[in-house]
Amino acid sequence: MADLEQALAEVAAEMAARGDRGEVASYIPQLGRVDAGKFGIAAATNDGRVLVAGDAGEAFSIQSISKVFTLTLALGEKGDALWKRVGREPSGNPFNSIVQLEHENGIPRNPFINAGAIVISDVLLAGHQPRETIGEILRFVQFLADDETITIDSAVAASERATGYRNFALANYMKSFGNLHHAPEMALGVYFHHCAIAMSCRQLALAGRFLANGGRQPSTGHSVISAERARRISALMLTCGHYDGSGDFAFRVGIPGKSGVGGGILAIVPGVASLAVWSPGLNANGNSKLGSIALEKLAKMMNWSVFAP
């Protein structure tokens, strides 16, 4: 097996030199302006090492990766009752598809498509004002990464709201089925803000450690969530974490991962490490093009797979 530090450096150097880097998301100007030449990668291991390469210290918009953290919070608060309001099946559809919702009576397929994450935001709102829930999510992410400097990019959040017609449609549609308990704009206020959290690869890898370590923060031993729930969140990442490219990511990389349109991916090697990669250019499914390739290479070099002994 390769040395992890060396493997990260090798992958980062190879990715920095590649020409075809995919298309940067442009549905809001804040994301469209990001330099497609960036590439960062980080690993936080269960034995306490944090190894980085490339632009791993630069903050980017984590977008849908935040759905892993809101799901963790909502499961902690609601327990298995959560599954009455959101499913656990891959969607096979783009992240913002509305068609399936009609067939399934307003119950989103899984917590990682937009509709599912909007329901999770609604769950987290119970008894709170949107501002309080947004604060709770941010503090949770700061706690996980052990870093109070993590912030929400308010310009990104404002643009998400200004252009979020489809997300408004999803929320209103679910409200009509009774699967939103608050006003759609309240749930969306929470959703747009958690998508706009900005983090570096280093911070993101640190924040994911509990998933690689049976639900516990390895540095402090604090329990974030039960070991069983941590396993289940990872299972959802594997089956649903890459929109309708989830099957391909599982096939190629073989470990759970959650991507975001900002070009980041959080990936988990159970029992070993939490990984974060960032390259803003996306492939046809809206997942980081070089990020996916880099994780495939790294997993191969390190012999990491949830399907291997």
Determine the Cα–Cα distance for residues 18 and 26; give it in Å rounded to an integer.
Answer: 21
Shortest distance (Å) from residue 10 CB to ligand GLU: 28
Exactly one of 261, 274, 279, 289 is catalytic; name it. Answer: 261
Q: Which amino acid would we find at residue 224? A: V
Nearer to ligand GLU, 50 or 98 (CB): 98
- The encoded tokens of residue 112 equal 């990682």
Catalytic annotation present for 243:
yes
Exactly one of 38, 61, 66, 67 is catalytic; name it. Answer: 67
Shortest distance (Å) from residue 211 CB to ligand GLU: 19
Residues recorded for the chain: 309
Nearer to ligand GLU, 39 or 95 (CB): 95
Shortest distance (Å) from residue 120 CB to ligand GLU: 13
Shortest distance (Å) from residue 167 CB to ligand GLU: 5
Nearer to ligand GLU, 25 or 144 (CB): 25
Catalytic annotation present for 200:
no
Shortest distance (Å) from residue 214 CB to ligand GLU: 27
HEC profile for the chain?
CCCHHHHHHHHHHHHHHCCCCCEECCCCHHHHCCCCCCCEEEEEECCCCEEEEECCCCCEECHHHHHHHHHHHHHHHHHHHHHHCCCCCCCCCCCCCCHHHHHCCCCCCCCCCHHHHHHHHHHHHCCCCHHHHHHHHHHHHHHHHCCCCCEECHHHHHHHHHHCHHHHHHHHHHHHCCCCCCCHHHHHHHHHHHHCEEECHHHHHHHCHHHHCCCECCCCCCECCCHHHHHHHHHHHHHHCCHHHHHHHHHHCCCCEEECCCCEEEEEECCCEEEEEECCEECCCCCEHHHHHHHHHHHHHHCCCCCCC
Catalytic annotation present for 27:
no
Nearer to ligand GLU, 210 or 243 (CB): 243
Nearer to ligand GLU, 46 or 283 (CB): 283
Shortest distance (Å) from residue 165 CB to ligand GLU: 10
**Which residues of the shown chain bind ligand GLU in the complex (CB under 6 A)?**
63-64, 95-96, 114, 160, 167, 195, 260-261
Exactly one of 34, 97, 156, 243 is catalytic; name it. Answer: 243
Exactly one of 11, 24, 64, 269 is catalytic; name it. Answer: 64
Exactly one of 97, 191, 279, 288 is catalytic; name it. Answer: 191
Catalytic annotation present for 67:
yes
Catalytic annotation present for 261:
yes
Nearer to ligand GLU, 260 or 281 (CB): 260
Residues with catalytic annotation?
64, 67, 191, 243, 261
